[in-house]
Amino acid sequence: MSSINVIEIQLEQGPRGMCMGHWAGSWGCCWLGNTSREVVNNSKKEVEKFIRFRKKWDPGIEIPEPGEIKVAEFVRNSAGEVGASGAPMALFSSDKNELSKRNVEEAFTVAGYIRQEIENRVEGLSKEEFEFQPNSNRRSLQETLQHIGNTVWWYCSRIDQKVDQWADNNLNELNRIEFFHEKARIFLLEKIKEGESNKVYIPTLYPTLDPGEKWTARKVLRRQVEHLWEHYRYLDKSLRLIPERD
């Protein structure tokens, strides 16, 4: 029987109330709510969901069962709704810590599990289903995966604006994300080698709605996996919107 532990979460809230929770002890676990209360109330369920996912892909991993939920940090953003494209994302206190090689390898291992799960779920879709767009405000599955791939380089550019945009070698959407993740893994390992993994940056190239948003290598790594998890969590909803085949 696994031991019970205190789960520390971090909250960030936008100017109109939308809130995102993050499990500080994981790479990837995050969830949205209309209010901070809703995020806290759903935190144990979301953490348990993430633990089940990790154990499915890595049965030998030891993760204590979640017990008490503790809000370790709360950050309010001044611009943009949390979770929306173009909105700034919080820099938590833990994001200022130095990265280790183990951190990088662990995070991209989790990213690999999520990519594989997405691939398993979309396997067998026709070209028409993959490209189906429910309405003008919602991306197709193809556009969603293209968007995820586009952000991999963008996240890295937050801490090095001299990084040229990566060519995708005409790979399909999922292979493109995997290819970019490998480039991002090498990029972040180099930041560790150069001793710049806890340096704070304020990028001016392709900024979010907050031109003063701060970034570190750890925040970049955290968002690489969280962003993938966010879209994976909404995959079932996207699949249900595709019209049934005759």
* Chain segment 11-28, per-residue pLDDT in tens: 999 998 999 999 988 999
Q: Nearest-CA neighbor of 135 among 238, 29, 10? A: 238
pLDDT tens per residue, range 36-92: 999 999 999 999 999 999 999 999 998 878 888 999 999 998 888 898 888 999 999
**Whole-number Å distance between alpha carbons of 67 and 7:** 7
Strands 30-33, 65-76: pairing kind: unpaired
Contact by Cβ (8 Å): 170, 179 = no
Output the CATH code of domain 95-241.
1.20.120.450
- The full set of domain ranges for the chain reads 4-87, 95-241
pLDDT value, residue 1: 38
Where in 4-113 does DSSP place strands (E)?
4-13, 19-23, 30-33, 65-76
Q: Which of 10, 16, 30 is nearest to 78 (CA)?
A: 16
Tell me the pTM.
Answer: 0.94
